[in-house]
């Protein structure tokens, strides 16, 4: 088995938030890191910061919702480091709007990034991961276990990701490739600021107290541990674990609690129904 110093990880959406934290966490353990994003300036800054810490890194500009660009990302990773030992499908976008106001176009955009981005990157990375008996990670969400109101597209994309990765895990068992689904709770990242409104624009604000949210670094450490221990599933935060448990045991009660929580958000779209 290859030493950590010769292993390579590809992290999509890794110029900020959870993806960036994962890149730094693996880099500190000696992994080669492939950074991905859609803004070259952010990619260059992230790679420069990694290299200042002695981490071998390369940045690839690619919108993973585009199949050819996702393929390019994987090809560049192999070109620079010769192999891929771990792919972390982290790139994602959220929404905050009622479905009847947002409509199919918003849902399609979210699915293209969150779900099909995962499909494309995994498909092109799989031959390389089979060679290394590596790991595929999907950064999902509690929204992939419990449907969240005014986040229909986001929940749909994460439910789809979970189903796809669970099926793939079983399918790949004979190959030695491991598949891990990681579901953070509310984490202090920019995802809520960039969440799409019914107009398809970023809401540029957050409905939660970000200071009380989990830290990206905690998620990154959990992902690293899960990859090393070849876990199947990771559900983070006590609230997240309790929510999933309630979904299994008390679904009706959970639905009422979820509605009550989200309708209390500042400027909640759900207030339209009251």
Beta bridge partners of residue 9, listed in sequence order: 33, 86
pLDDT of residue 225: 98
Q: Which pLDDT belongs to residue 80?
A: 97
Residues 6 or more apart whose CB falls under 8 angstroms from that of 224 comprise 22, 25, 26, 29
DSSP of 170-183, one letter per residue? HHHGGGT-EEEEEE
60-82 pLDDT, tens digit each = 999 999 999 999 999 999 999 99
* 193 φ, ψ (degrees, to nearest 5): -65, -30
Q: Which of 112-116, 211-215, 236-240 has the lowest mean pLDDT?
A: 211-215
**pLDDT for res 207:** 60
Q: What is the pLDDT of residue 186?
A: 72
pLDDT per position as a tens digit, 121-154: 999 999 999 999 999 999 999 999 999 999 999 9
Report the C-alpha dihedral over residues 12, 15, 17, 20, rounded to 10 degrees.
70
Going along the chain from its start, the domains and CATH numbers come out as: 4-237 (3.40.50.720)
pLDDT tens per residue across span 22-39:
999 999 999 999 999 999
Query: What mean pLDDT value characterizes the chain?
Result: 92
Residues 6+ apart with CB under 8 A from 138: 89, 118, 161, 162, 165, 179, 180, 181, 182
Average pLDDT over residues 91-104: 92
Catalytic residue of the set 124, 145, 154, 164: 154
Mean pLDDT value of segment 211-215: 67
**Distance in angstroms (rounded) separating the CA atoms of residues 203 and 196:** 6
Q: Model-level pTM?
A: 0.93
245 pLDDT exceeds 70?
yes
* Residue 256 CB-density burial (10 A; 0-12 exposed, 13-18 middle, 19+ buried): exposed
pLDDT at residue 1, rounded to an integer = 45
Per residue in 3-24, pLDDT (tens digit) is 666 899 999 999 999 999 999 9
Catalytic, 193? Answer no
Directed axis angle between helix 104-111 and helix 152-172, to 10°? 30
Nearest C-alpha neighbor of 105 from the set 197, 228, 39, 222? 197
Cβ neighbours around 121 below 10 Å, total: 28
């Amino acid at each position: 088995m290859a030493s950590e110093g010769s292993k390579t990880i590809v992290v999509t959406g890794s110029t900020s938030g959870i993806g960036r934290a994962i890149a730094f966490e693996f880099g500190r353990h000696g992994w080669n890191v492939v950074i991905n994003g859609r803004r070259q300036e952010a990619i260059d800054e992230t790679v420069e910061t990694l290299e200042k810490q002695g981490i071998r890194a390369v940045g690839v500009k690619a919108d993973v919702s585009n199949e050819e660009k996702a393929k390019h990302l994987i090809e560049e990773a192999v070109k620079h480091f010769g192999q891929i030992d771990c792919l972390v499908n982290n790139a994602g976008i959220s929404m905050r709007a009622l479905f009847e106001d947002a409509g199919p176009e918003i849902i399609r955009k979210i699915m293209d990034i969150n779900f099909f981005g995962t499909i494309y990157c995994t498909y092109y990375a799989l031959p390389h991961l089979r060679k290394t008996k590596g790991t595929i990670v999907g950064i999902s969400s509690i929204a992939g276990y419990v449907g969240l109101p005014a986040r229909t597209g986001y929940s749909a994309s994460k439910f789809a990701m979970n189903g796809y990765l669970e099926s793939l895990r079983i399918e790949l068992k004979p190959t030695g490739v491991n598949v891990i689904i990681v579901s953070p709770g509310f984490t202090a990242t920019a995802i809520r600021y960039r969440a799409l409104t019914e107009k398809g624009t970023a809401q540029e604000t957050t409905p939660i107290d970000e200071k009380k949210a989990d830290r990206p670094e905690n998620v990154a450490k959990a992902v690293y541990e899960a990859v090393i221990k070849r876990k199947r599933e990771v559900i983070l935060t006590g609230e997240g674990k309790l929510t999933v448990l309630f979904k299994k045991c008390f679904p009706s009660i959970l639905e009422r609690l979820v509605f009550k929580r989200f309708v209390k958000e500042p400027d909640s779209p759900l207030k339209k129904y009251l």
